[in-house]
């Protein structure tokens, strides 16, 4: 294959112009879903860690079992099970909400373990000092323990959040019009690889800024870093 043939197959300007609108739509779906997954997953993970902190042992065992299940199983297995299984129970969810639900639950499971590790790392003396000043247990957790634990949790949380949001590409398995699905559809109709090249560039444009923001956030949250 000569240079002109290579360019025609992988960087065809006419194909790019024709399918760019639907690729942009797919990129918007990917970005919006990623944002919603991160916000909900991190918040739910924190809630689960707090429940684990104050619950009796049987509740903690059940919580850990559920968390371990979501951490261990492949995301695609949950996606297919919910998308194709729930209709048999009379519950129908769109592909978008199935993917959001699964990725949020998986991120929450990993986030819960990360938050718990951060909380557990706070020395017992910090708890005792907070309580000795007259703070209640809830106030000690909110004002003393969580601020310190959160700084320790930022690096693993940001890395895990980015890793989970990349799984939005799994939506193509259930026909969700995210970026990869739109690129594959365009490639099938055009018989040209240009839409896949554009989708790859799109993922770089989406996730590289997220990685840069995560690195900046980690730097700002380090102990002793000036602001």
pTM for this prediction: 0.87
Domain boundary assignment for the chain? 17-221
Percentage of residues in the chain with pLDDT exceeding 70?
Answer: 96
Residue 2: its pLDDT value, please? 61
Residue 4: its pLDDT value, please? 73
Residue 225: its pLDDT value, please? 46
Token output for 218: 């980690």
Residue 34: its pLDDT value, please? 93
- CB-CB neighbours of 177 under 10 Å: 18
H/E run at residue 10: helix 3-10
Residue 116: its pLDDT value, please? 92
Which positions of the chain have pLDDT values less than 70? 1-2, 222-227
C-alpha distances in angstroms, 190 versus 12, 49, 184? 10, 49, 10
CATH of domain 17-221: 1.10.3720.10
CA–CA gap between residue 115 and residue 171 (Å, rounded) = 28
Residue 178: its pLDDT value, please? 93
- CB-CB neighbours of 12 under 10 Å: 18
**Exposure pattern of 56-71 as b/e (b: 16+ CB <10 Å)?**
eeeeeeebbeebeebe
Token output for 172: 């193509």
CA–CA gap between residue 176 and residue 29 (Å, rounded) = 9
**Exposure pattern of 145-167 as b/e (b: 16+ CB <10 Å)?**
bbebbebbbbbbbbebbbebbbb
Token output for 39: 């916000």
């Amino acid at each position: 294959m000569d240079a002109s043939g290579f360019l025609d197959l992988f960087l065809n300007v006419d194909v790019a112009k024709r399918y760019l609108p639907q690729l942009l739509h797919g990129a918007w779906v990917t970005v919006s879903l990623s944002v919603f997954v991160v916000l909900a997953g991190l918040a739910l993970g924190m809630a689960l860690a707090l429940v684990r902190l104050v619950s009796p042992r049987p509740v903690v065992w059940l919580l850990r079992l559920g968390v371990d299940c979501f951490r261990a199983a492949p995301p695609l297995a949950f996606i297919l099970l919910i998308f194709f299984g729930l209709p048999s129970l009379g519950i129908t969810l769109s592909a978008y909400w199935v993917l959001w639900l699964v990725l949020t639950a998986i991120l929450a499971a990993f986030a819960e373990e990360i938050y718990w590790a951060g909380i557990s790392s706070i020395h017992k003396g910090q708890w005792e000092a907070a309580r000795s000043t007259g703070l209640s247990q809830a106030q000690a957790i909110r004002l003393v323990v969580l601020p310190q634990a959160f700084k320790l949790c930022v690096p693993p949380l940001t890395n895990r959040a980015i890793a989970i949001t990349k799984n939005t590409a799994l939506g193509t398995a259930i026909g969700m019009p995210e970026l990869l699905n739109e690129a594959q559809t365009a490639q099938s109709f055009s018989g040209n690889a240009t839409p896949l090249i554009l989708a790859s560039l799109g993922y770089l444009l989406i996730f590289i800024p997220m990685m840069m923001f995560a690195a900046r956030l980690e730097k700002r949250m380090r102990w002793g870093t000036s602001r």
